[in-house]
Structure 1
Amino acid sequence: MMRSKGSLRRFGVFSLAGILLLSSNPVIPDHVSAEPDASSKLIINEVYGGGGKESKDGSVKAPYKNDFIELYNSTNEDVALDEFTLTYTNSKGDTVQTFQFTDGQVIKANDYFLLRGEATLGDEGDKGFGDVFAADAYYDTPNAGIGMSDEKGNVELKKNETVIDALSYGEPDTIKGEGSPITGITFDTSVRRINFTDTNNNSADFEVVTPSPTMSGYTEGDVELIELTKIADIKTQAKLIGQHVTVEGQVSAANVKASADGSMLYTYIQDDSGALNAIGLDAKKGQRVQLTGMVQEVNGEISLLIEQVIVLDESEADVPVASVSSNEALALEGYQVSVTGDVTAKTENTLTLNNELSVYFDSTVGLTANIEEGQSVTVTGVMAPNQQGQLNLVVSSMDDLAVNEEEKIPNTVELEKIAGYSTGLM
C-alpha cells in the first residue's frame, strides 16, 4: 500500500482536568464531574461527500473515490463505540441513513477514527474518480451504506438516543447541526474542525479545506492509500499473473462444490466488473471483503491466492441475481444467476436445460427424482466449473428450484359446460 503525505497542522489539546491540576488544592465546580464521561467529548472532525465525482466540463475531479466521516477523541481515555451510531439526514429531511458501530470498535485517546463511505459510480457526474484509502470502518455497503450529498446535508453522532455532536453543511432545508451551517463546500473539498474547536456553532468551528481522511494511529494529512485492481483486469491481463493485487467486493458464493467427481470448493468475490475464485478465503456469502493475494493460473483458470483479508461488512447481505438465458449464463462464472428453461436431460444429481446448460445438485442439497424431462423449471445458483472445466449452474438449496406450472386450457366440452352454467341452462 502507498502512503501520501500532506502538510501537517500543529495543534494543542487541553483538558479541564489538566487545567484544574495547576492548583495544589483544586476545587471542582458542582457542574463538572471529577471523572467526566469521555464518550460525551467525541467530535465529528471532518466530513467529505464528493467521493468519485468530476465537474461537468471534466476539468476538476474528486481527490478521493469514497466519501468519509472522520471522528476525533480529544480526551485521555479510550472510548468503546458499540453504543454509538452515525446518522446522515439529507437536505429535505426525508431520507435518514444510519451506521451502527459494532462491538470491539474503539476510538483511542487523542486519536482519530475514520469511516470510509460510499463510492459514487455510474451516474452522470459520479464516475469513480479519485484515490481509494484505508479506514477504521466502512459504511459503503448495501446494508450499512450512507450516500452523502457533496453540497448540503446533516451528520449526527449519537450514543443510544443522545446526540453527542452534530454538523450541518451547505444550506440544507432541514438543519440538524449546531448553530448555523458551514457553507462553501464543493465536491472536491471537505469541512474540517479548526484545531478541534467545539463551540456548538458549525459555521465558526469548521472550515472548508482539501480533504484529508485520517485513520487511527496517523497524523493529520497522512493518508493511507490503497491501489485496487478490477477483477475484470485480473482475468484479462496476462501480465498480472504472479503479481500481488488488492481487490474489494462481495462474496457471491462460499465453499461451493461444482461436480460429484470434483474435490475443489469454490468461493467467489465479485465487484462491478467481474467475479473471481478466491482460494483460501474463509467468508460467508453476502459479506463484503477486501482481499490481497497473488494472481495465479491453473489449468487455464485464473484465481486469487489469498494472503490478507479485511472484512468490510460482516452482515450476510443479499447477493444480486442476474436473470439470464441458459446461453448467457455460460459467460458468468462466479455470478449468481437465475435461468428458466426446459429440462432436456437428467441424471440423479444433474439437469440439462435447453440442451446447453448443466445444473448440478450436490447430494447434500437434494436429488432431482421429482423432476421430469420436458418440464419447465427456474433455477437459481452460482456458475462454477466442474471437474472437466465446464461451467455448471450449482444449486445450494432445493428452494432455489421451481417447477413452472403450465396454464391449463379448457377443452371444448369444458367450455360448453361453463357457458351453460353462466346462462342457467345446466
Structure 2
Amino acid sequence: MAQPGLPVEQDALSAHYSQGSPHAYSTNRGGGNSGAPFTNDFIELYNPTDADIDLTGWSVEYFSAKGGSGGKTTLNGSIPAGGNYLIQGGGGDTGEPLPTPDAEGSLNMSGSKGSVKLYDASGAEVDVVGYGAASISEGSPTPSLSNTTSAQRNAAGTDTDDNSADFSTGDPTPKS
C-alpha cells in the first residue's frame, strides 16, 4: 500500500510505491465526443521528486468498468523533476487539439467509468485510478466522469488510499 502522505494511487491487490515514482495526476475521457473540449482522451503523469525519472519501457493500461483490458500505451523519454508528462489517447472530431503530448497511443477510454494503471519498466504496478462504476480502483473510485470533465488529483498529490477522496472532478486542464 502507499505510504501515508505520498502522492500516489495503488491497487489494493499489488505493488508497493516508492517515493521516486511518478503517479497519475489527471485523466480525461470522452475526447473528440460531443461537447468534449479536446479531440483526444488523455492521461497526465506527475513527478513529485526533485530528479528526472526515465520512463523508458513504462506503460499505461486502460480497463473497462468490468475490468477487461482496453489496451496499453508504452512510454519513452523522461518526466522532469516536479513536471508533467502528457499521454494522448484515442480521439474524434470534436474539440481542440491537446498541447503537444509526450507520448501517443490509441486508448479509447469510456467517458463515464473505467480504470487506468501505470506500470514501471519491469511490469510492476505503480499506480491505479478508477472512476465511475469501475471494478478496479483504490478504495472507492472517483465519481463518474463525462465528455466535459476529468479526474484531477487533489492538493499536490493527496493520497489517502481512496480514489474518491484523492481526486476531484473538474474541467480538463492538461498541463504539458
**Common fold: TM-score over 0.5:** yes
Structure 1 Cα separation of the partners of residues 149 and 126 of structure 2: 25
Tell me the residue number matched to 1:130.
Answer: 95
Name the SS of the counterpart of 1:53 in structure 2. Answer: coil
Task: From 24, 27, 34, give the equivalent of 1:44.
Answer: 24
Name the SS of the counterpart of 1:191 in structure 2. Answer: strand
TM-score, normalised to structure 1, is 0.36
Structure 1 Cα separation of the partners of residues 129 and 144 of structure 2: 14
How far the C-alpha of 1:75 sits from its partner, in A, is: 0.7
Structure 2 Cα separation of the partners of residues 95 and 112 of structure 1: 25
5+ residue gaps, structure 2, are: 7-17
Structure 1 Cα separation of the partners of residues 64 and 162 of structure 2: 19
Tell me the residue number matched to 1:83.
Answer: 57
How far the C-alpha of 1:165 sits from its partner, in A, is: 0.8
5+ residue gaps, structure 1, are: 1-13, 16-35, 55-60, 121-127, 140-144, 216-426
Give deviations 1:102-140, integer Å, cap 9, x for gaps. 3xx0001000000111113xxxxxxx110002211111x
Within a 5 Å distance, the mapping from 1:314-329 to structure 2 comes to: none
Structure 2 Cα separation of the partners of residues 37 and 207 of structure 1: 23
Retained in 1: the 8 A contact 2:26–2:151? yes
Give deviations 1:365-385, integer Å, cap 9, x for gaps. xxxxxxxxxxxxxxxxxxxxx
How far the C-alpha of 1:37 sits from its partner, in A, is: 5.6
Aligned Cα root-mean-square deviation (Å): 1.7
Tell me the residue number matched to 2:45.
Answer: 71
Name the SS of the counterpart of 1:184 in structure 2. Answer: coil
Matching residue's letter, 1:92: K
Tell me the residue number matched to 2:168.
Answer: 207
Structure 1 Cα separation of the partners of residues 41 and 23 of structure 2: 18
Retained in 1: the 8 A contact 2:57–2:75? yes
Tell me the residue number matched to 1:178.
Answer: 138
Q: How many residues align?
A: 158
Structure 2 Cα separation of the partners of residues 68 and 96 of structure 1: 14
How far the C-alpha of 1:44 sits from its partner, in A, is: 0.2
How far the C-alpha of 1:148 sits from its partner, in A, is: 0.5
Within a 5 Å distance, the mapping from 1:395-406 to structure 2 comes to: none
How far the C-alpha of 1:97 sits from its partner, in A, is: 0.7
Name the SS of the counterpart of 2:59 in structure 1. Answer: strand
Matching residue's letter, 1:149: S
TM-score, normalised to structure 2, is 0.84
Structure 2 Cα separation of the partners of residues 212 and 71 of structure 1: 13
Tell me the residue number matched to 1:114.
Answer: 86
Give deviations 1:260-308, integer Å, cap 9, x for gaps. xxxxxxxxxxxxxxxxxxxxxxxxxxxxxxxxxxxxxxxxxxxxxxxxx
Tell me the residue number matched to 2:15.
Answer: none
Structure having the larger proportion of residues in strand: 1
Report which of the two structures shows the higher radius of gyration computed on alpha carbons.
Answer: 1
Identity of aligned residues (%): 34
Matching residue's letter, 1:178: E
Retained in 1: the 8 A contact 2:61–2:69? no
